[in-house]
């Protein structure tokens, strides 16, 4: 796995967080971005790890 800087988010991670901010569920975000719900959850979990948070809210 590549060395990832803490707090530096990828574009897909940013997109997912922007939609979460708008109150969208993982299922809704997956539909908007045309990816699977698992992919959305993967990006959200990575963003949470990088931002050192334990809650998506």
If you search the block for the tokens 């971005």, which residue do you land on?
33
CB 20 within 8 A of CB 11: no
CB 23 within 8 A of CB 16: no
Residue 1 confidence (pLDDT):
45
Residue 5 confidence (pLDDT):
65
DSSP code for 14: H
Domains of the chain: 11-50 (1.10.10.10)
Confidence band of 4 (pLDDT split at 50, 70, 90): low
Highest mean pLDDT among 6-10, 20-24, 52-56: 20-24
């Amino acid at each position: 796995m590549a060395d990832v800087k803490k707090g530096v988010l990828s574009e897909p991670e940013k997109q997912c967080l922007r939609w979460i901010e708008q109150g969208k569920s993982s299922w809704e975000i997956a539909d908007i971005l045309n990816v699977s719900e698992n992919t959305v959850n993967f990006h959200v979990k990575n963003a949470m790890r990088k931002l050192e948070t334990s809650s998506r809210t």
